[in-house]
Structure 1
Amino acid sequence: MGFSNYLIGILNFATIVLSLPIIGGGIWLATKHDTDCVRFLQWPIVLIGLFILLVSIVGFVGACFRISCLLCVYLLVMLMLILLLLFFTVFAFVVTHSGAGHALAGQGFKEYRLGDYSTWLQNKVDNAENWRSIKSCLSDAKVCNSLNEEYSSLQAFSRARLSPLQSGCCKPPTACGYSFVNPTSWVNPTIPSANQDCLLWNNQDLCFNCGSCRAGVLQNIKEDWHKVAILNVVVLIFLFAVYSIGCCACRNARRDGSFSGFGKPFL
């Protein structure tokens, strides 16, 4: 049982270390400059990371001090954690599977359409209270302010590599036919397109009320969630390996009677 104790202790210590990037990734998503307005979607990742951290500490203590009841609790909670993380990872891939930017002829940037994204994500940004907070936050972040300094002509602006937020929130959709004055000021065409976003654009509020702006926010969420979901897959593989070894150690402990409550630490 000495080897099993050492192995479980070492693996749980590694899991403790591994939980830190998950917590850090969630905090990064919640405080990142262009997505700090969607914290309601990012904090669950932080909670999962904290859960992994606490469970790993329980397993580490249970293995090191040979506390049988603590090890059993650890294995049960570890199973629940694996199922929870698996559900969240699958959910993240499913809800961010659809949606992508549309390339435009002669334009360096892409444009984004709200209808391309999953219904669940659309409902999040269509919620009036959520969007009011997001819009206020985007305005405070001044995501459009640098465009006028960087692009003084239509030719330069057409070649610009705009972020999803800049493309969706700072200019009217190209199909509307607005005339360029500067990146955040456009002349309304005589007969605007029937696209609802064309009617929502104005030079004061820009396109922060447009569906394209919501789509830009969702594109950012999609890209960020994909990064975290890939990290979660790696963590899942590791957690499953730790859980399997823990089950073997617990079975051996019951067979050998090695764990009988608080024993001596093996370290």
Structure 2
Amino acid sequence: MVRLSNSIVVLVNVLTLVISVAVIGGAAWSYTHPGSLCHRVLQQPLLFLGLSLLAVSLLGLIGACCRVQFLLWIYLFVMFVLIVGLVCFTVFTVVVTNKGVGKAVSDKGYKEYRLGDYSNWLRKYVVNQENWAKIRSCLVVADVCSTLGANPNETLADFRKRTLSPIQSGCCKPPTSCGFKFKNATYWTAPKTGGPAAADGDCATWSNNQSVLCYGCQSCKAGVLANIKKEWKLLAIINVVVLVFVIIIYSIGCCALRNVRSSGYLQSGKGHP
């Protein structure tokens, strides 16, 4: 049992060590190949994740291989903190993504999204002014609207049948309430008289410039939040699976620590009468 629990801890941490080296390598590559603002946003989180995985895996490896109780205690403490963190984050993601849903538009295959329908936390901390410049840069780099205008012969009736993603609906076209006239999927003209049909700030923000479109619109931010909500719901499910795995590893680590302590106790001669 001593060898089995220690071997499992060693195996898991060898895999974690390999992953950490790969993540650190990816972060280092991004630093030496500077790209857009979107790419630069990922550099520090990647480096932090890689270094954290490296430190934890080394603690587990050295503690299990060399049977160092102190390092195993630190390793188990970090794993316990990770378990608590995963539980808290899973609950948090469910709570903050509970609000918000796209509104179906009459006779159209897509939905439209309003920023006010989402939780205050998401609006305040995810799509705030500071973060939005980075998110907008990512949207432009990803060119999320390019495929919409690929068919020059598309009619308004054809466009209305499309199933658009939340980001495409919010960022690549003006809101339906603006009353703009369709030229193609990413080119719309304002009414010649009377201005937009709705007193919506997004109507004035819309631009036919293909690098601008509605990337500055509130509807675009709402589309991003709708996408984040969907991804975080999936992330919550993944977190539960990871949590079960980490709890199993934590339990095996506890067994390894107990075995190391028993081994040290017997080797010191205290286990004999």
In the superposition, the TM-score normalised over structure 1's length comes to 0.77
Higher relative contact order (CA 8 A, sep 6+): 1
The 5 Å alignment of 1:89-238 reads 89-150=90-151, 152-189=154-191, 190-191=194-195, 192-204=197-209, 205-238=212-245
> Secondary structure at the residue paired with 1:257?
helix
Partner of 2:86: 85
Structure 1 vs Structure 2: percent identity of aligned residues? 47
- Code of the aligned partner of 1:158: R
Q: Is the 8 A contact 1:168 1:213 kept in 2?
A: yes
By how many angstroms is 1:38 displaced? 9.4
Q: Where has structure 1 moved over 6 Å in runs of 4 or more?
A: none
- Retained in 2: the 8 A contact 1:12–1:57? no
Aligned CA distance change for structure 1 residues 227 and 88 (closer, same or farther; 3 Å): same
The whole-number CA distance in structure 1 between the counterparts of 2:91 and 2:14 is 23
The 3 A distance-change label for structure 1 pair 86 and 39 is farther
**Which residues of structure 1 form unaligned runs of 5+?**
262-267
Distance change (3 Å), C-alpha of 1:246 and 1:144: closer
- 1:109 to partner: Cα distance: 1.4
Letter in 1 for 2:184: N
Change (3 A) 1:12 1:224: farther
SS in 2 for 1:80: helix
Q: Is the 8 A contact 1:9 1:59 kept in 2?
A: no
1:222-248 Cα deviation digits (max 9, x unpaired) = 223333332221111121122223224
| Alpha carbons 1:95, 1:120 under 8 Å: kept | yes
Give RMSD over aligned pairs: 3.4
**Quick one: distance in 2 between partners of 1:130 and 1:209?**
12
Measure the CA separation in 2 of the matches of 1:42 and 1:231. 23
Contact 2:64 2:256 in 1 (8 A): no
1: CA distance between counterparts of 2:143 and 2:245? 41
Instruction: Identify the residue that residue 264 of structure 2 maps to in structure 1.
Output: 257
Secondary structure at the aligned position of 2:149 is classed as helix
Letter in 1 for 2:179: G
Aligned counterparts of 2:99 and 2:204: Cα–Cα separation in 1 = 26
From the superposition, tell whether residues 232 and 259 of structure 1 become closer, same or farther in structure 2 (CA, over 3 Å). farther
- Cα gap change, 1:8 to 1:225, in 2 (>3 Å): farther
- Give the CA deviation at 1:167: 0.7
